[in-house]
Structure 1
Amino acid sequence: MKAVGLSGAIIGAKTAKSVEEVLTAINHYDESVVTELVDLRNYDVEFVRGVPFSEYNQDTQDVVNKLNEADVIVIGTPIYQASIPGVLKNVFDHLAPNCFKGKVAGIVTNGGSEKHFLMTEYQLKPILSYFKAILPLNNVFLHTSCFGPNNEITNEEEKERIENLAKELIELKKLY
């Protein structure tokens, strides 16, 4: 089984750290799962422009292919202006409508306003459902105050929620 975490931001480190924590928790729960972090800060994903997929650069193809090959996907995103960043939306625009069929997709978000947690319910879950992902009941929202030095997650309750999300992702994949 392969779990790919997508950090959907190109600035800051909190999102990547959040996704990395979920992937680590997956490995604590099941050491046999191969995990990989796809941090968009390290890729030059081209904007969708309506040309055949083979005409996009290698970074774009690599990101899409890694998501297509995963069994479990962890989508991580900061919340800007009560929405996802454009770079994450651009990745979604590259994907085929059924690309997550039979795959389990979890969500970890971070933001500066506690009201932003609703974005997961009203934006991200519908997008992942459109791609036919199997969605867990749990997701994780991390307020900026949950992070300490070096973007370490310091809130014990949130660490437990991350562990619960990881467990649910693997258990759901075993069912499907």
Structure 2
Amino acid sequence: MPQTRVVGISGNITRPSRTRAFVDHIVHRLAVDAGASAQTFDIEDFGASLLPARRLDELAPEARYVVGQILAADILVVASPTFKGSYTGLFKHVFDLLDPSSLRGKPVILAATGGGERHSLMVEHQLRPLFGFFEALAMPTAIYASDKDFADGALASEAIHARVGRAVGEATQALARAARASLAA
């Protein structure tokens, strides 16, 4: 049986970033708990062809590779920094290029980062509807981390660690249910 694949997508365009570190943390924890392989990408990994692309076939090979990894993943961890109450435009543009049915039923952990608690509902009001459109299986526990939840670029908040644990638990259960259904079929 092929190994489960976890893919993380950070909507940040700068490196290093707290959002990328946050995604890496969630992806690593999920990979360990699920016995999965893991990869994380950010907007920079798509290269210059992302911005002008209107279709997947207009992307450069490195960007098409990242899209291929997203589509082939057994589970996604997606996060964006909060910009004016929503996800970044290039993060959204990545998903605008995908076929609406391409993520149907795929488990997704939703996360975001932001400057303060004021933006904490961005995950529920922006990310959840986006992945609902794709009919993805968004985990019930979404995770938002603000600047105060990090120390030296790493996640430091015990409350956020607990939410990560809860979301990872939900995701591993979703993967187990999918594996049982696949065996039964």
Where does residue 84 of structure 2 map in the other structure?
81
Alpha-carbon displacement from aligned partner over 1:108-147 (angstroms, at most 9, x marks no partner): 1110121211111111111101111011110110011011
Structure 2 gap segments, 5+ residues each: 179-185
Where does residue 176 of structure 2 map in the other structure?
174
Where does residue 105 of structure 1 map in the other structure?
108
Alpha-carbon displacement from aligned partner over 1:71-129 (angstroms, at most 9, x marks no partner): 10000110011011111011011111011112101111110121211111111111101
Matched AA of 2:77 = V
**Cα RMSD between the aligned structures?**
1.5
Matched AA of 1:46 = L
- Alpha-carbon distance in 2 for matches of 1:2, 1:15: 20
Structure 1 gap segments, 5+ residues each: none
- Alpha-carbon distance in 2 for matches of 1:20, 1:34: 12
* Count of residue pairs brought into register by the alignment: 173
Tell me the percent identity: 24
Counterpart among 6, 17, 24 of residue 28 in structure 2: 24
Does the Cα contact within 8 Å between 1:5 and 1:38 map onto a contact in 2?
Answer: yes
Deviating beyond 3 angstroms after TM superposition, the runs of 4 or more aligned structure 1 residues are 48-51
Q: TM-score, normalised by structure 2?
A: 0.87
How far is 1:35 from its partner? 1.1
Matched AA of 1:173 = L
Where does residue 152 of structure 1 map in the other structure?
154
- Alpha-carbon distance in 1 for matches of 2:106, 2:173: 12
Does residue 1:56 correspond to 2:59, yes or no?
yes
Does residue 1:13 correspond to 2:48, yes or no?
no
Q: TM-score, normalised by structure 1?
A: 0.91
Does the Cα contact within 8 Å between 1:64 and 1:94 map onto a contact in 2?
Answer: no
How far is 1:169 from its partner? 1.0
